[in-house]
Chains A and B, each alone.
Chain A
Amino acid sequence: DVKVTQSSRYLVKRTGEKVFLECVQDMDHENMFWYRQDPGLGLRLIYFSYDVKMKEKGDIPEGYSVSREKKERFSLILESASTNQTSMYLCASSLSRVGSYGYTFGSGTRLTVV
């Protein structure tokens, strides 16, 4: 069974902390994505990567960075966590860079910044 695995289901962090969210996929997909999900707003794209060491900004990259050192791993970094970054974070991978075959999502990380 193919999988996208996010390392943490729940995280509580303090304002100003540096936060790392890890994501691993076993489908050999080149394309990986980080979204945040907030009630009533749908999924919003933070960053995506279409190859190792490649990254592109999504719709809401401010306050975030990413790292893709290996094909299977895509990390989201909150440089200095703030309360408005409290959210559900979803990692996804895809066969297609342009979403032509849909996404496989992880189970999500619910981050609370206090």
Chain B
Amino acid sequence: GESVGLHLPTLSVQEGDNSIINCAYSNSASDYFIWYKQESGKGPQFIIDIRSNMDKRQGQRVTVLLNKTVKHLSLQIAATQPGDSAVYFCAENAQTGGFKTIFGAGTRLFVKA
């Protein structure tokens, strides 16, 4: 993920709408990707992961899409709920060339009731 500076990008959605959060990753050798959710005052929580041999993976209300051609990852949240309000960030990991996990700076999601 890329650092986006001191201010987090913010996404504001209406309750019930779908949310799409994007992440541009930096290492073309990265082969494992994770989305985390961090609520205020809490540590990051694993949401969903995807390996580079896949381009889509679905969980409960969440879908991750991977586009290796443009090094882009997205998280889609269906029927967004107030409890989804949090900071979401991606992490990329390259298992070749040594241990390295890079975390993105995150996107803040606000859900309006």
CB-based contact B103/A100 at 8 Å: no
Residues of A within 8 A of B104 (CB): 42
Q: With A98-B95, A102-B34 as given contacts, are A42 and B43 in contact (CB-CB < 8 Å)?
A: no
Residues of A within 8 A of B45 (CB): 105
Interface string of B71-104 (1 = CB under 8 A from A): 0000000000000000001010101000101111
8 A Cβ contacts from B97-113 to A: 99, 101-106
CB-based contact B6/A42 at 8 Å: no
CB-based contact A4/B43 at 8 Å: yes
CB-based contact A39/B46 at 8 Å: no
What's the tally of chain B residues with a CB closer than 8 Å to chain A? 27
Within 8 Å by CB of B105, from A9, A35, A42, A105, lies A42
> B59 interface residue, CB < 8 Å from A?
no
Q: How far is the CA of A103 from the CA of B103 in the complex (A)?
A: 12
8 A Cβ contacts from B1-37 to A: 1, 3-8, 32, 34
What's the tally of chain A residues with a CB closer than 8 Å to chain B? 22
Within 8 Å by CB of A99, from B1, B8, B32, B106, lies B32
The A interface is mostly helix, strand or loop, or mixed, namely loop
Q: How far is the CA of A35 from the CA of B44 in the complex (A)?
A: 12
Residues of B within 8 A of A107 (CB): 41-43
CB-based contact B99/A105 at 8 Å: no
Q: With A90-B43, A99-B99, A100-B32 as given contacts, are A40 and B49 in contact (CB-CB < 8 Å)?
A: no
What's the least CB distance linking B83 to chain A, in Å?
17
CB-based contact A40/B5 at 8 Å: yes
Closest B residue by C-beta to A105: B43
Tell me the B residues contacting A by CB distance below 8 Å. Answer: 1, 3-8, 32, 34, 41-46, 49, 89, 91, 93, 95, 99, 101-106
Tell me the A residues contacting B by CB distance below 8 Å. Answer: 4, 9, 35, 39-43, 45, 90, 92, 97-100, 102-108
